[in-house]
């Protein structure tokens, strides 16, 4: 891995953007990949015409991934999970603090803002920002507006906030972190043609009551065993059958699951106009940001599997004042071939097969505290 990327002195006047994928939360929340070339997305795509099978896959997707996205403290007896979520929280806290400190050092004439585009559903950013607001002066802008009920609007990302002083005798712009969640969030709920934001202090009650109902315990155990015993089976086999009780349970489960305002890991991302509208508004915002002069896009934990995002990044590379940094977890991490031949793409890989660039190492490398002039 090279010793530096760019200096902070050359970056204070840049339009800073991050593209954060599942790799940032991977120490605690598993990624979509299951084994080899198989993922939740490939399973759902292969079985898109089998309704019950898709419900079964999404049930396991919820159990193994979505539940963890709530970022709630695991049971006290599960020390391993507690350690994992704690270390992940520490990484997010460190990232936010160092980014705030960087924005505070911008010149007064510059906009004190960074855009964080993410495809993650989890609310690590939100929970960490809530904790840091007690000690740091900044705003995490999730795109919502309102008081008791907060609704999402893409126009809310074009805001800046400043302290004017008691006598309006000075103006200090508060660091603003725009959090743009392209694939939705477990903190979002659907309401007619709108999305409103409500941060949960518990799992989804309706699904939780289904999972904790003693009458469903046998069925749930059977479904979990079916997933583990027949790991990623050929669902087309006639021997892979669901009992009547399992089908009834999966119908109840999917009815509640579909109320979560997230984009499922399928090629057909949208079932509703409201999501389609939000998704393309986010893509448009990303495109606008990357077309601005003196722009940086720093990518971490993102595989570029979303073809729409990849195409926007690729198209934006015609902007010669844009530099894109792609951090790779390992030497074996593959970057899409249609991105690697551009001069303004910088691919950062570990210097050896044994080394990994996890979120913690990414942060320490990006915000090098030992050299004041390095970002």
Tell which residue, 48, 55, 344, has the closest CA to residue 219.
55
Residue 233: name the closest of 64, 57, 62, 66 by CA: 57
What are the residue ranges spanned by the domains of the chain?
8-366
pLDDT of residue 288: 96
Tokens matching residue 113: 């803002």
Kindly report, residue by residue over 4-28, the tens digit of the pLDDT. Answer: 444 555 566 789 999 999 999 999 9
Cβ distance 91 to 29 under 8 Å?
no
Give pLDDT tens digits for 130-179: 999 999 999 999 999 888 889 988 888 988 888 777 777 777 789 999 99
Whether residue 180 contacts residue 117, with contact meaning beta carbons closer than 8 Å, is answered with yes
User: CB count, 10 Å around CB of 303?
Assistant: 20
The model's pTM is 0.91
Query: Is residue 349 within 8 Å of 330, Cβ to Cβ?
Result: yes
């Amino acid at each position: 891995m090279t010793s530096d990327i760019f200096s902070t002195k050359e970056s204070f006047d840049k339009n800073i953007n991050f593209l954060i994928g599942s790799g940032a939360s991977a120490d605690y929340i598993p990624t979509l990949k299951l084994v080899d070339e198989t993922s939740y997305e490939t399973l759902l795509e292969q079985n898109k015409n089998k309704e019950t099978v898709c419900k079964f896959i999404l049930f396991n997707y919820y159990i193994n991934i979505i539940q963890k996205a709530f970022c709630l403290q695991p049971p006290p007896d599960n020390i391993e999970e507690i350690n994992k979520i704690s270390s992940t929280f520490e990484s997010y806290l460190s990232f936010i603090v160092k980014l705030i400190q960087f924005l505070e050092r911008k010149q007064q004439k510059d906009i004190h803002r960074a855009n964080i585009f993410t495809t993650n559903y989890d609310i690590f950013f939100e929970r960490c920002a809530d904790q840091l607001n007690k000690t740091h002066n900044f705003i995490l802008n999730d795109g919502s507006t309102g008081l008791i009920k907060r609704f999402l609007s893409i126009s809310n990302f074009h805001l800046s906030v400043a302290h004017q002083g008691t006598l309006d005798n000075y103006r200090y712009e508060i660091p603003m972190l725009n959090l743009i969640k392209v694939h939705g969030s477990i903190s979002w709920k659907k309401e007619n043609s709108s999305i409103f934001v409500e941060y949960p202090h518990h799992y989804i009650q309706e699904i939780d009551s289904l999972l904790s109902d003693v009458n469903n315990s046998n069925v749930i155990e059977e479904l979990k065993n079916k997933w583990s015993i027949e790991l990623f089976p050929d669902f087309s086999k006639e021997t892979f059958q669901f009992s009547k009780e399992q089908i009834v349970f999966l119908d109840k489960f999917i009815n509640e699951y579909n109320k979560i305002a997230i984009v499922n890991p399928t090629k057909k991302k949208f079932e509703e106009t409201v999501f389609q509208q939000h998704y393309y508004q986010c893509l448009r915002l990303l495109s606008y940001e990357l077309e601005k002069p003196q722009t940086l896009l720093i990518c971490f934990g993102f595989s570029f599997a979303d073809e729409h995002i990849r195409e926007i990044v690729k198209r934006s590379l015609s902007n010669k004042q844009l530099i894109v940094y792609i951090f790779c977890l390992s030497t074996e991490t593959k970057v899409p071939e249609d991105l690697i031949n551009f001069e303004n793409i910088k691919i950062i890989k570990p210097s050896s097969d044994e080394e990994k660039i996890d979120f913690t190492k990414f942060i320490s490398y990006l915000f090098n505290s030992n050299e004041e002039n390095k970002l």
